[in-house]
Amino acid sequence: MNVFQAARIAHEVNRAYCESIGDHSQTSWNGAPQWQKDSAIKGINLHWEALYVGVDLPPSASHESWLKEKTQNGWKYGPVKNVELKEHPCCVPYEQLPPEQKTKDFLFAAVARSTFFNDDPA
């Protein structure tokens, strides 16, 4: 499995979970904008690079990486996700996320772990 396949799986798991909690704003992988795909790829790489050296990152690492990227690109907290204004309700420290949002990071980390295959013979 390659990183693009793993990112697609993580995206679709997130979309399915969002739908299960009443959030129907997520598009399928094929309909997702490139920045969203790039974010999923970056997240998978974050976890895989850590797993390669024997470190299993906690789910909070996904959020912290995502938040850092968002703030570097001008995003800030807003009560509702607004792409034009670059506002997002999850632009807060991990500890301040509601449980249903933390679950998304848990699921993402689980997908990263389950799709990681270290073929290094060492």
Task: Report pLDDT digits (tens) over 93-116.
Answer: 999 999 999 999 999 999 999 999
- Show the low-confidence residues of the chain (pLDDT under 50): 120-122
From residue 6, alpha-carbon distances to 1, 11, 94, 115, 116 in Å are 7, 9, 23, 6, 8
Distant-in-sequence contacts of 21-24, Cβ < 8 A, 24+ apart: 21/100
Question: In the block, which residue shows the tokens 């998304």?
Answer: 104
pLDDT of residue 12: 98
Q: Is 41 helix (H, G, I), strand (E, B) or coil?
A: helix
Locate 42 and state its tokens.
Answer: 């970056």
Burial environment of residue 76 by CB neighbours within 10 A (0 to 12, 13 to 18, 19 or more): exposed
The Cα–Cα gap between 26 and 10 comes to: 13
pLDDT of residue 118: 61
Q: What is the pTM of this model?
A: 0.87
pLDDT of residue 83: 87
